[in-house]
Amino acid sequence: AKTLFDSLSYSNKKLYVEWITAAKRSSTREERVSKTIKYLEQGIKNFKKGK
């Protein structure tokens, strides 16, 4: 997951980071981190577009 994240464009990295940090509760942020890792392991670069 880290390798794919490192290869993402600045814009795609920003989407993931902003989505995670926009959560108010720490439990929600933790869930989003887990989902991000899952998406990246599946090769999903832009989760909002499903690509």
Question: What integer pLDDT is reported at residue 38 of this predicted model?
Answer: 95
Alpha-carbon span 8 to 26, nearest angstrom: 25
Q: Is residue 32 a part of any domain in this protein?
A: yes
Q: Which residues of the chain fall short of a pLDDT of 50?
A: 50-51
Question: What integer pLDDT is reported at residue 35 of this predicted model?
Answer: 94
Average pLDDT score, the chain? 90
Alpha-carbon span 31 to 41, nearest angstrom: 15
Alpha-carbon distances of 3 from 8, 31, 37, 48, rounded to whole Å? 9, 20, 11, 20
Tens digit of pLDDT for each residue in 17-31? Answer: 999 999 999 999 999
Q: Is residue 49 a part of any domain in this protein?
A: no
Entry pTM: 0.82
Q: Is residue 30 a part of any domain in this protein?
A: yes
Q: Which residue has the tokens 């499903």?
A: 50
Supply the range of the domain harboring residue 19: 2-41
User: How would you classify residue 48: left for phi > 0, otherwise alpha for psi between -120 and 50, otherwise beta?
Assistant: alpha
Question: What integer pLDDT is reported at residue 51 of this predicted model?
Answer: 41
Q: Is residue 17 a part of any domain in this protein?
A: yes
